[in-house]
Amino acid sequence: MKEIQSVKNQIIKEVKKFHQKKQRDVQKKYLLEGYHLVEEAVLAGATIDKVFIDQKGYELYNDWLNEQLVDCYLVSTEVLKALSELPTPQGIVALVDKQEQIVENFTGAWLLLDGVQDPGNVGTLIRTADAAGFSGVILGEGTADLYSSKVLRSLQGSHFHLPIIHRNLIEVIQQFKQAEIPVYGTELNQDALPYTKVTPRKDIALVLGNEGQGVSQDVLNLTDRNLYIPIYGQAESLNVGIAGGILMYHFVSDRNH
Amino acid sequence: MKEIQSVKNQIIKEVKKFHQKKQRDVQKKYLLEGYHLVEEAVLAGATIDKVFIDQKGYELYNDWLNEQLVDCYLVSTEVLKALSELPTPQGIVALVDKQEQIVENFTGAWLLLDGVQDPGNVGTLIRTADAAGFSGVILGEGTADLYSSKVLRSLQGSHFHLPIIHRNLIEVIQQFKQAEIPVYGTELNQDALPYTKVTPRKDIALVLGNEGQGVSQDVLNLTDRNLYIPIYGQAESLNVGIAGGILMYHFVSDRNH
């Protein structure tokens, strides 16, 4: 196995650039950390460009890596730390090709994110959509980058489980409407409908919005109904991840009978 | 107003000690940041020990602070930064007395946390319990400190809205059982009951557990029923905050009709 000891190595310098969204966008690759996630990437058929592994990781995963026939480097602790964006590096960092997601039509339940900015919220919402058996997630403009370290951390591999696509929400909502699939916005006011009044059904689109501003007015104007979750106590609002969890599980609750 | 320019000032050195849990536990005081939360503390009748404010905060909140008659210091940006634990200090840090919570009996819905370690999860769960109109929250051993900066940040003032007490969960569950209030544990396996099978009712106790280990076996053995949230997709689990949100809103969903 090739070895790299210095953080000044040219390959390391190049790969560190993928900490930046711009580089990920242009090259259509991203960094993935931890054995479990790298294994999921392989199982999902993702192309692994390079793998960097420290001595401890080498001892643990060497056999497995040999099987995968990927371009693999044994690196010093300093180098792995330089590549890692986790507080505690996991011994393995891989450069992975983004997978092109092709969605022909929107059957089933879809989650639409309109400017959700916090990476933890975006990751948790997608993971919850995965758990709830949603068909996919559509990321509108202003939503945190799917391939940032923080989103990947809270995603826990869910981007290998369901399609996640980038679209203009105004355009995509019109597609849902043409297909006669109801589109539900979320609005934190009493003009909206309490979510429990909506009967669960198979095909729906649910839009969640920015942490501070909520769903943008342009989008709210296009939705079929706007929903709210009643606040019974004194909290001013719910975290958008929690709100998403409550709504998504409401929409699939009939699967349980 | 008294002024402090140096981070080496004795008062600042003393107050910085409240970044440590031990100091908060012994002195029964904690640090609260941001005007909105300090104002909530005042409205909630909490005793404010000291307030530290920078020039910008002084211009914004001086009138209001004068009304409160608290021990207030105008400090340099450096001093405020030293006291703050936020990435972006909010111009005001207060040293606040913990409020003794006295709970006579457990009517209504109660959330019990059994070793929930992530401060963001603890804060979000309490904020959701507040939103869902729960009567209070009981923190068992191993749960993140309520008064840490990170918990306070995601709490968004909910600790002023509902009682939050520290108890041995084994003992407190026995109290619930004596009062004939059903206690629901959460377990991620098919031996447990899907949560939608449980009819919402006014008095309940809901136990959520550690991010990795779940609810401890000792506690699960004592509960009346253990519940799970079905996973319809490929995600391995739900975040505990999301799971808590889905369950809490299920238990109050009858209030909506």
pLDDT tens digits, one per residue of B115-139: 999 999 999 999 999 999 999 999 9
| Spatial distance between the Cα atoms of B49 and B18, rounded to a whole number of angstroms | 13
Q: First-to-last CA distance in chain B?
A: 54
Query: What are the strands, taking DSSP E only, across A99-211?
Result: 109-114, 136-139, 164-166, 183-186, 193-194, 204-209
- Window from B26-30, B60-64, B147-151, B204-208 with minimum mean pLDDT: B60-64
For residue B255, the chain A residues in CB contact (below 8 A) are 230, 232
pLDDT per residue over A106-141, tens digit each? 999 999 999 999 999 999 999 999 999 999 999 999
Query: Could you tell me if A6 and A41 are in contact, meaning their C-beta atoms sit under 8 angstroms apart?
Result: no
- Quote the ipTM score: 0.93
Predicted local confidence at residue A168, as pLDDT: 96
| Rg for chain A, CA atoms, rounded | 20
Q: What is the CA radius of gyration of chain B?
A: 20
Cα B153 to Cα A151, B85, B173, B211, B213, distances in angstroms = 20, 10, 29, 19, 25
Q: Establish whether domains A2-97 and A109-256 are of one fold.
A: no
Contact A237 B131 (CB under 8 A): yes
Please tell me the predicted confidence (pLDDT) of residue B69.
Answer: 74
Residue B182 in this model has a pLDDT that exceeds 70: yes
Contact between residue A188 and residue A243 where contact means Cβ atoms under 8 Å apart: no
Domain A2-97: what homologous superfamily?
Answer: Ribosomal protein L30/S12 (3.30.1330.30)
B149 within 8 A of B170, measured Cβ to Cβ: no
Cβ–Cβ < 8 Å for B208, B122: no
**Distance from A11 to chain B by nearest Cα, in Å?**
32
Q: How many CB atoms lie under 10 A from the CB of residue B236?
A: 13
End-to-end CA distance of chain A: 54
Polymer length of chain B? 257
Structure tokens at A135: 């068909």
- Matching CATH number, A109-256, of 1.10.10.10, 3.40.1280.10, 3.10.450.50, 3.30.830.10: 3.40.1280.10
CA distances (Å), B12 to each of A182, B2, B5, B82, in order?
57, 13, 10, 8
Q: Do A257 and B230 touch (CB under 8 A)?
A: no
User: What gap in Å lies between CA A187 and CA A190, rounded to an integer?
Assistant: 8
Average pLDDT over residues B13-24: 97
CB contacts of A232 in chain B (<8 Å) are 131-133, 252, 255
- Looking at beta carbons, which residues of chain A come within 8 Å of B253? 196
- In the predicted model, what is the mean pLDDT of chain A? 93
Separation CA B161–CA B178 (nearest Å): 27
Structural domain boundaries of chain B? 2-97, 109-256
